[in-house]
Structure 1
C-alpha cells in the first residue's frame, strides 16, 4: 500500500537540502535517514533520505544524489510516497492509518447503516471522516471519541453517536433562520 507522507518545498542553502511539508503522523519512521520514497511525478524518484533535521520549526531533508540547490529546486512540489505493509498498525491503541479506515461501514449505535467511510480529511486541529451515504450524498463527521466511540476493524465498521442535525438536516435544531430574516 502506498501513502503520501510529504511534499517537497523550497530549497535551503547550496548543498541540496529541501524543506518538506510533512503529511504523516510518523515522520521519524516514514522520513527518517535511509527511508526510500517513491515520488509523484515518478520521474523525480525514488529518493533515499540521507539526513533530516528540524530547522525553524520545519523538516529539512537531504536526499542522496541531490548535490546542489539546482537539483533541490527541481524537486519542488514533488509528493513523497512511502510503501507501507497493509497489516502494519500504529503503536498507539486508539490510532489508525487512513487506509485502515477507508471502506468501513459507518453505523449508528443501534446498528443503522449511515454509509461508507470514503476519506479521512486531516485539518490542523481535528480530523474529519467523509461518509458517503447510500444516496450518494456526503457528510463530514468529526473524528473525536465522543462522536466516533468505536472503530471495529475486525467487523469493518465505525460506530458513531452524532449530535442532532449532523447526519440529517431534518434533525437540525431551529436557530431562528438566516440573519436576513431576523
Structure 2
C-alpha cells in the first residue's frame, strides 16, 4: 500500500538536495539511503533516495536522479509516497496511520452513533478528523485526547467527547456580548 510520507520543498544548494516537508512519524526509515518513493503525479515517477540528512531542523534529501539545482527545482511541490505493508503499525500504540482511521464509525462518549471518519486532515498545529454525520453533513474534530479520548481499531470505533457545537455546529453556545460591545 502506498502512503504519502512527504512533500518536496525548495532546492537547497547547487548539488540537487531538496528540503522535505515531512508527513511521516518515521522519516529516518522512509527517507533512508536507497529508499524508493513514488510521486503523486501523472505519470507517477519512482525516486530513489541517494542520501538524507537533518540540517537546522529540516530534512534535506538528495535523489539519485536529481544531480543539480535545476533538477531539484523540477521536483518542487510533488508529494511522495512509500510502500508500506498492510499490517504495519506505528511503534507508539497511541499513533495511527490515516488508512486505519478512515472508515471507522464515530460514537459519542455517551454511546450515541455520530457518523463515520471520512478523512484525516494534517495541519501544522494539529490533525483533524473529518466526520460525515448521519444527516450527510461533515464536521471537523481536532484529533486531541480531550475530544477524541479513545480509538478502538478492533471494534471499529472512534469515541468523541461531544461538546456544544462540535458535532452540531448549529448547536454551538452563543456567548452574550458585553454591554457596549458592537460585536466586532
TM-score (norm 2): 0.89
Q: What are the Cα deviations for residues 83-141 of structure 1, in whole angstroms up to 9, with x where unaligned?
A: 11121110011111111000000001232111110111222222211101122211111
Q: CA 1:134–1:68 in structure 2 vs 1: closer, same or farther (change >3 Å)?
A: same
What residue in structure 2 maps to residue 3 of structure 1?
3
Consecutive unaligned residues of structure 2, counting only runs of 5 or more, are none
**Cα drift, residue 62 of structure 1:** 0.7
For residues 47 and 16 of structure 1, what CA distance do their matches in structure 2 show? 13
Q: What are the Cα deviations for residues 14-66 of structure 1, in whole angstroms up to 9, with x where unaligned?
A: 22111111122221121222210001225462011111112232211111132
SS in structure 2 of the partner of residue 72 of structure 1: helix
For residues 14 and 174 of structure 2, what CA distance do their matches in structure 1 show? 60
Consecutive unaligned residues of structure 1, counting only runs of 5 or more, are none
Does the CA contact (< 8 Å) of 1:44 and 1:78 recur in 2?
Answer: no
Q: CA 1:177–1:169 in structure 2 vs 1: closer, same or farther (change >3 Å)?
A: farther
How many pairs does the alignment contain?
182
Q: CA 1:74–1:108 in structure 2 vs 1: closer, same or farther (change >3 Å)?
A: same
For residues 7 and 15 of structure 1, what CA distance do their matches in structure 2 show? 19
